[in-house]
Amino acid sequence: MLNKEALKDTMKKIIKIDYGKTLEKAKDHEKYVALSKSIMEQIVDRWIGTKETYEESKEAYYLSAEFLMGRALGNNLINLGIYEDVKELLNEMNIDINKVEEIEEDAGLGNGGLGRLAACFMDSAATCDVPLTGYGIRYSHGIFRQKIVDGFQVEKGDNWLKYGDPWSIRREENTVLVRFADQIVKAIPYDTPVIGYGTNNINTLRLWQCEPLVDFDFELFNEQKYDEAVRGKNKAQDISRVLYPNDSNDDGKILRLKQQYFFVSASLQDLIRKHKSLNRDLLDFAKYNSVQLNDTHPTVAIPEMMRLLVDDEELSWEDAWEVTRKTFAYTNHTILSEALEKWWNGYFKRILPRIYEIIEKIDEEFIRELKAKNYEKEKIAEMRIVRDDMIRMAHLAIHGTYATNGVAQLHTDILKETELNDWYKLYPERFQNKTNGITPRRWIRLCNKELSSLITELLGTEEWVKNLDLLKNLEKYANDEELLERFLSIKDEKKRELASYIKKNEGIEVDDKSIFDIQIKRLHEYKRQLLKAFYILDLYYRLKENPTMDINPRTFIFGAKAAPGYFRAKGIIKFINEIANLVNNDKEVNEKIKIIFVQNYRVSYAEKLFPAADVSEQISTAGKEASGTGNMKFMLNGTPTLGTYDGANVEIVAEAGEENNFIFGLRVEDIKEMKDSYDPKKYYEEIPALRRVVDTLIDGTFSDGGTGMFYELYTSLLEGASWHTADNYFIFADFNMYKDAQDEVDNAYKDRLEWAKKCWLNMANAGKFSSDRTILQYANEIWSVDQNPIK
């Protein structure tokens, strides 16, 4: 139960102490900080109790370069079960809870699905009483704040900490040192509570901030060498300043390597310190600790663990290797060979020479293992960890762990059958599938309160928020016209809210009665935002030729950031915005179609986009998207998938029925069969509509501002590039099938009740995609940790 008076008194005290003013004079961000700190005061005892309870048995740890947490306040109030009470209290104090929530900055700790998955897992672990601690970096500026200027992506600093961070506690006493060949830095931990829903458990996200040993060199300053006096401080702070710094040159690559080593070294030192403080033998480390590597970014943890055990703790190499291999498990998030991380060994020799020595020894012993199993010389060369002066981190991750998992059944099957087939044959017992999931707390209970209330009314309980399988009981209402009308009215309300938000943030009027066709995800070629762009441009030309064409008005919404050094992805953003400029300013068509590229796509924007969507675009090249979790968020909010047979789309249509979604395009087996003979020029020459839209890249229809982006994009499609073949992601081959699928969507939408039925059946069958299910599978089948509720 919330003690309203105590909360109110605490808020007043905090505003008085921190800001020297009364509650009435406080600004919105000051009210946000005061409310957040007041909630923190009420949960600290439970947080301490959770840590103490977990220490009694085995715990798991999640090492991730990203944790895309989103705003904390609203989610924490939902999970504590006090959102409505706090809203009521704030109303009494003449404070609008929506204003307070909106003032909170999204924590700049992640970018794409990898980081959002980690955040969902943290929420689910706390909710399911699973002893899981997250470890990562406390980036002071995140990836970047995206602005669209003249159609181009422009990166700005994302100072998400400008109002402070009331949800974290600095733990100076747990500081550790991290050593590079050219630098020694301090790793300062900041702990953030992860509050479980409907439980007393509160888990921990521990993020490391990099600081110098000496802040300021007074002697240099006294000699008037002002820049040099703070150079050490800046060099240290750079390590935890930006997520994924541009690595197009050596300095950027070295900074990224330092980031990876920094947080895994600090985390492992922390774990060993804790293990020893509990008077446990280091030979029993794996008995009490399981560490999950979220993709290859933290893989340097394997040789670092060896260094700590052999050099610092003086274990034998054999004992240390036994402990290490029993401690770590690895999640693979990609099928793309170019995304399987590799490092030039020169960087390791320069920055982490001892780590490189250890990697070489691991490689040598691995070669001996393969020779003992009678592997041929050529196969050994293919599987080596160090080859051609490159360290292959995925190979190190599989060899140095006890489990490797994919993140969707199709993804795992591809890993086992093709991409990692040699490794699967070597270690078949280590390979598992763990289909991704999403937390129902943030992705429906918080962001779609209206639909959540309807579900609770129909089920007669809120238990579904912790047991999403209960949604299956809603299938029986799929033909209830009165209920479907209520359902549609909720969707309409969320669309009006999104249209208002877009008007406020993008300055563009949106028809909230149009189809909201949404593709929101990281900008990468394999995700094929370009395919959608070509389709929209083709539709525009068809409308110009036939203004009376009978289609539902459609609003195409994109949201995506391109990595700062990813030239082609930035070219695609510019191309989309050039099309938008053409379409949105043409009065002959802009009442039928409109294009919105939302700026700075992030979790808080996503919370408005997912509930309002009519169409979920999941159009990656088959076999390239490991899983996807955006597809699950759309599904949970009652949105059919327009997509390829890829990633978790396969499992979505298995649950909700292919008849309730729109699946198109080449499948994995089709691509495999045609890959060597694929000639995109054939499609280009034989499909006039395709040729017309592709040619706009070079015929002067659009301007790329003299950057050469569009010509480079055009030649990559028709000629290829040094690192890939022409039309590497089969956009041309799927173009007509995508058009047909879009026609199906348009026709289906005309029957509103049949459309509502498709939407309803998607939502009712979304239970499998709860991250609660996923995290319990990790706990039971990989980590061997028990659920441990505190009293």
Q: What is the pLDDT of residues 2-16, one digit of tens each?
A: 888 999 999 999 999
Is residue 563 very low, low, confident or very high in pLDDT (cuts 50, 70, 90)? very high
On whether the CB atoms of residues 758 and 479 are closer than 8 A, the answer is no
- Arithmetic mean of pLDDT, 409-425: 96
Angstrom distance (rounded) from CA 497 to CA 331:
37
Task: Take residue 695 and report the two structure tokens written for it.
Answer: 């040619």
Q: List the domain boundaries for the chain.
A: 55-70+106-245+252-342+776-783, 454-669+729-769
Reported confidence tier of residue 326, pLDDT bands at 50, 70, 90:
very high
Query: How many secondary structure helices (H) and strands (E) does the chain include?
Result: 34, 21
Is 371 catalytic? The answer is no
Catalytic residue among 399, 434, 445, 522: 522
Q: Is the pLDDT of residue 374 over 90?
A: yes
Whole-number pLDDT of residue 63: 98
Catalytic residue among 435, 629, 644, 774: 629
Which residue intervals of 328-420 are DSSP H helices?
A: 345-351, 353-372, 377-383, 393-399, 409-414
Q: 339 pLDDT exceeds 90?
A: no
Superfamily grouping for domain 55-70+106-245+252-342+776-783 = Glycogen Phosphorylase B; (3.40.50.2000)
Q: What is the mean pLDDT of residues 741-756?
A: 98
Across the range 393-406, mean pLDDT stands at: 98
Interval 302-308 mean pLDDT: 98
Look at 394 and 247; give whichever has higher pLDDT.
Answer: 394
C-alpha 299/C-alpha 281 separation (Å) is 24
Over residues 496-520, the mean pLDDT reads 97
Quick: pLDDT tens for 699-726: 999 999 999 999 999 999 999 998 899 9
Please pick, among 527, 561, 594, 773, the residue that the annotation labels catalytic.
527
Of 141-145, 303-307, 557-561, 661-665, which gets the smallest average pLDDT?
A: 141-145
Q: Label each residue of 423-438 as H, E or C.
A: HHHHCHHHEEECCCCE
Q: Is pLDDT at 70 greater than 90 in this prediction?
A: yes
The verdict on whether 544 is a catalytic residue reads no
Give the per-residue pLDDT at 722.
85
Question: Do 55-70+106-245+252-342+776-783 and 454-669+729-769 come out as alike in CATH topology?
Answer: yes
Confirm if 423 and 406 have CB atoms less than 8 A apart. no
Q: CA of 132: how far to CAs of 50, 51, 113, 126, 721, in Å?
A: 11, 10, 20, 8, 44
Tens of pLDDT along 154-176? 999 999 999 999 999 999 999 99
* Bridge partners for 146 per DSSP: 155
Count the Cβ atoms, other than its own, within 10 Å of residue 422: 15
Confidence of residue 134 (pLDDT cuts 50, 70, 90): very high
Contact in structure between 135 and 146 (CB atoms under 8 Å): no
What number is the average pLDDT over the span 613-640? 97
C-alpha distances in angstroms, 472 versus 135, 451, 458, 674, 762?
35, 15, 12, 40, 10
Q: How many CB atoms lie within 10 A of CB 682?
A: 11
Asked about 629 being catalytic, the answer comes back as: yes
Active site residue 416: no
Distance from C-alpha of 361 to C-alpha of 355, rounded to nearest angstrom:
10
Phi, psi for 448 (deg, rounded to 5): -140, 70
Q: Which residue has the tokens 């085995």?
A: 58
| HEC secondary structure over 484-510 | HHHHHHHHHHHHHHHHHHHHHHHCCCC
Distances (CA, A) of 382 to 369, 375, 397: 14, 11, 15
From 3.40.50.970, 3.40.50.2000, 2.60.40.420, 3.10.580.10, which CATH number describes the 454-669+729-769 domain?
3.40.50.2000
Global pTM reads 0.97
Q: What is the pLDDT of residue 227?
A: 77
